[in-house]
Structure 1
Amino acid sequence: MSENKLFPATCKISRGQIDDNMASEGDSRDDVRKSSAADDGIRLITEDLFHDILNQQFGKCTIKKFTVANSTITGENFACSMYRVTIDFQMEDGTDNSVKYIIKMMPLNDPNAQMKKSLGIFTKEVEMYEKIVPKFEEIFQENGIETAFVPKCWKVVDNPEMLIMEDLGARKFTNVDRLNGMDMEHVKMVLSKLAQFHAASVCVLEKNGPFSKQIMSSLFDDESCNFFRALQPIVWGNIVKNLRLWKTCQEYVDRIEGMIDRIFDLHKEAYDPNPDEFNVILHGDLWTNNIMFQHDENGHPKDILFVDLQIARYGSPVHDLIYFIFSSTEYSIKVKEFDYMIKCYHRELVKNLKLLKYPKSLPTLIDLQIAVLKKCFLGIAVSCGVMAIALLDPNENANMENFLKDDEAGSKFKQDMYLNPRFIKSCELIFPFLENKGAFDV
């Protein structure tokens, strides 16, 4: 990873410190392997990684105490391992101080490593933090607006792959309860920030030209196509098997089952950007767990930041909108206020495009609503994907491995997801809404 003014030089760590005698297979060893992998991750996070960061933040200082703790919450992080580092240190003038950081590390001994590599989730996130989001913030600064989209990333480490991030907890940023979803006050703040993010992306593109191929490509590029073409029918077959156990919505389940033979093509068509339409750089994974709020003393949101840019890509803004609305809003507004939320986003998008002097024709609300209709199949995919996860009670089986596996633990996890009364209730609301938009007629 190249050094630039925002990030110190990459620090190399040897993987020789990792115990390579771990059992590589056998369900009876799953808990041992996961625990050991977490411990190995902690052992790779050393004081040496932080000296230059501390010097940059506080000047010359001496570390007095260095603590690393696993902060991955069961069922909340599907793609990476999370750790919190606490450093007690003494500054040059003798003053004692303390600081915390969050470490995002690609899991060690990860059975899904190949899939994640095909998606480029680490390299995409690095590019977003190092090169792209700073350009978004810079273009607003050039137009007299100070704004931030993401927490500070202090360092990128290549081996093992990790990001050393600002700990937003120190500034009292928190997530909204994903089980209840966001009320309209929080939703409007998300839509406003998202509109800024999207507007900045197209204006930077117009000014500087395309970003890298991995960002400008569809989610289903040449490298990942074969993998997902084989995977999607299996995943959706398991989804339908569980939906068949419902007492309701079977007419919609029939329609979903009829799509399975071409389910990959439907996804690819929905995800591939149409060059004749308005496209932006997407967050790509915009749901409750990846949105952090700062609140005032009365509980009202006063600031917002996005996290987890691992699936950022080029595409229609309705991807982020459909993904966010169905996965992360309160039940009472998810469908009832859907069109109003699209309108709120559009108003903010146009306002920011004008502010940033976007040189092309502004997308109309009709343009946006037509794009929603064209890609409303995404509503089915989101409902049966991230929404099912968002509405699931904390679950020790909740991880990517169990979502993809067909063994006892995998089957139990998918039953917990798809037979969850909270999820069924939401689908009973959403499926008729999507039917009226033509989502099942693809």
Structure 2
Amino acid sequence: MAPTKQQLDHVRQLVSSLNLHGPIANCEVRPFSPALTSSLIAIDISTELPGGKQMVRNFVAKVKMENEDQSEWVDADTQFYNECKVYSEVIPFFLKMIPSQGVSRIFPECLYSSYTKVDPVVIIENLESKGFKMGDYGAMDYEHCALTLRTLAQFHSFSIAIKRKEPTLFKEKIAQLKDPRYADNTLIFRTIQMLTRVCVRGCINSFEMFYPEYSATYAVELQKLLKLLNESVGELFQSLVKAEEPFSVLCHGDFNRNNILFRYDDDAKPCEVKFIDFQIIRYASPAIDISLLLFLNTTSEFRAENEDKLLRIYHQTLLENTATFLGCTTAELLSEMSLDKFKTDYARHALHGFLISAMFSRFVFGSEEECDRFVETIDNGRCTEDDLETLLPIGGEFVQRRICDMLKDILIRGYFK
């Protein structure tokens, strides 16, 4: 949703009041790319330097959408609150506790972050101006996945190290965050439950057409999943994100390709990655992030060949970074955090990534017109399951097969029993 003139003027005035290490020669603001849960504003700032030179810096401001109905159903207040907390409290806390662990390399620079119910604003550097860009949906190769999971493990290691060293301080920080999706009696949670039932039910109904052999082999599991969808899908989501020690960490929460930006070297190889958009952040199993990344952004064939290798890369990086901060060896962490124990934790929670991917694959892989229809159907959170049933043809056989591939992988790997 495009920002209003009032919002553009507000951001321009706000930037003009900030200390930017030099007088502002010029400040241009304009609408940026559209977003589902907020309005984005591009900011180009020219500051005066000694000797008459100027430095141009590029930022993006995120402001609250003006549409109150849409803002209510996506619970934009909670999402803005969380993101402001990440930039004003969590990242500075990480920087204070882990000054030498490269915290700043993972996140964009934050120029300003302030939450109020009326005018919440987050201003971060425009990473596009530094050569960062998104990867392709459904086409992340091994190099992109390995780099992403190494960096994700570094991010997650901050939580594991700090909660071991300063458990009280860490608990106080995570207690400030709010549940952005699964809070009872919210429109967004109601919509998520309905959309999950419709999309996964549609997948199960067509599963036999694509995989008749697995449909028979896993008939009991499929019936159990249907029962959960129909009777207690809300409780299922809440159980999957319930924190369990020792692996629970601050998760990004929406760890998908549109929130992961890559920079490439001269050989067009990904060499650096940064994470953005922390509205859905939560304290939970790292599987919440990893499983969404792999299910929504890779193919079944890729996962069959590479999932175990990638989980090993993540686990090893997690141990190494945690050990470096704590001043111990990785061997000293293995009694609680062995690879087998990590894989067990992952298996208990990976279903979450499948459920979210099943919901949003049609939006991700549909045509522009189909995506518009998807958004219009769920737009105010007051849709019915009958309304959502009309979305099942979006993306055609390609999307339906892709979701069935995810379900097959969940069953084969024992992520749902």
TM more than 0.5? yes
Distance 1:344 1:430 in 2: 22
Match of 2:241 in 1: 271
Alpha-carbon contact 1:328-1:390 (below 8 Å) kept: no
Alpha-carbon contact 2:94-2:103 (below 8 Å) kept: no
Alpha-carbon contact 2:64-2:76 (below 8 Å) kept: no
Matches for 1:345-360 after TM superposition, within 5 Å: 345-357=314-326
Match of 2:160 in 1: 202
2:391 to 414, 422, 426: 414
Q: How many Å apart are 1:330 and its aligned residue? A: 4.8
Provide TM-score, normalisation by structure 2.
0.82
Indicate the SS of the match to 2:106.
coil
**Shift in alpha-carbon separation, 1:130–1:241, aligned structure 2, 3 A:** same
Q: How many Å apart are 1:213 and its aligned residue? A: 5.2
Match of 2:274 in 1: 305
**Shift in alpha-carbon separation, 1:45–1:71, aligned structure 2, 3 A:** farther
Corresponding position: 1:291 with 2:260: yes
Indicate the SS of the match to 2:57.
strand
**Shift in alpha-carbon separation, 1:46–1:281, aligned structure 2, 3 A:** closer
**Shift in alpha-carbon separation, 1:213–1:133, aligned structure 2, 3 A:** closer
Indicate the SS of the match to 1:406.
coil
Distance 2:199 2:24 in 1: 54
Match of 1:39 in 2: 4
Alpha-carbon contact 1:397-1:413 (below 8 Å) kept: no
Match of 2:412 in 1: 436
The amino acid of 1:201's aligned partner reads S
Alpha-carbon contact 1:219-1:271 (below 8 Å) kept: no
Percent of aligned pairs with the same residue?
A: 18
1:106-157 CA deviation, whole Å, 9 max, x = no partner? 21123243344488211111111112123334444346x5752210111124
Alpha-carbon contact 1:232-1:263 (below 8 Å) kept: no
Corresponding position: 1:108 with 2:66: yes
What is the Cα-based RMSD across aligned positions, in Å? Answer: 3.3
Q: How many Å apart are 1:254 and its aligned residue? A: 5.5
Provide TM-score, normalisation by structure 1.
0.77
2:25 to 40, 57, 62: 62
The amino acid of 2:198's aligned partner reads N
Q: How many Å apart are 1:168 and its aligned residue? A: 0.6
**Shift in alpha-carbon separation, 1:237–1:41, aligned structure 2, 3 A:** farther
1:129 to 87, 102, 111: 87
Tell which deviates more after alignment, 334-343 or 237-246: 237-246
Distance 1:149 1:107 in 2: 27
Indicate the SS of the match to 1:62.
strand
Match of 2:119 in 1: 160
Distance 1:132 1:39 in 2: 30
Tell which deviates more after alignment, 277-286 or 111-120: 111-120
2:43 to 85, 94, 108: 85
Corresponding position: 1:193 with 2:151: yes
1:296-329 CA deviation, whole Å, 9 max, x = no partner? 1211111111001111111111111112111223
**Shift in alpha-carbon separation, 1:43–1:132, aligned structure 2, 3 A:** closer
The amino acid of 1:148's aligned partner reads R
Distance 1:264 1:124 in 2: 22
Q: How many Å apart are 1:393 and its aligned residue? A: 3.9
Indicate the SS of the match to 2:172.
coil
Tell which deviates more after alignment, 120-129 or 371-380: 371-380
Indicate the SS of the match to 2:185.
helix
Match of 2:108 in 1: 151
Corresponding position: 1:371 with 2:341: no
Alpha-carbon contact 1:318-1:368 (below 8 Å) kept: no
**Shift in alpha-carbon separation, 1:303–1:407, aligned structure 2, 3 A:** same
Match of 2:173 in 1: 212
1:184-235 CA deviation, whole Å, 9 max, x = no partner? 11111111111111111222233233133555676677xx223367545422
Distance 1:122 1:187 in 2: 28
Distance 1:146 1:240 in 2: 38
Distance 2:142 2:389 in 1: 34
Q: How many Å apart are 1:389 and its aligned residue? A: 3.6
Distance 1:220 1:38 in 2: 24
The amino acid of 2:24's aligned partner reads C
Corresponding position: 1:424 with 2:400: yes
**Shift in alpha-carbon separation, 1:125–1:379, aligned structure 2, 3 A:** closer
Alpha-carbon contact 2:365-2:399 (below 8 Å) kept: yes
Corresponding position: 1:239 with 2:199: yes
Please identify which structure carries the higher helix content. Answer: 2
**Shift in alpha-carbon separation, 1:379–1:99, aligned structure 2, 3 A:** closer
Distance 2:161 2:112 in 1: 27
Alpha-carbon contact 2:107-2:274 (below 8 Å) kept: yes
Structure 1 residues not aligned, in runs of 5+ = 1-33
Match of 1:170 in 2: 129
**Shift in alpha-carbon separation, 1:141–1:236, aligned structure 2, 3 A:** closer
Distance 1:92 1:389 in 2: 50
Match of 1:337 in 2: 306
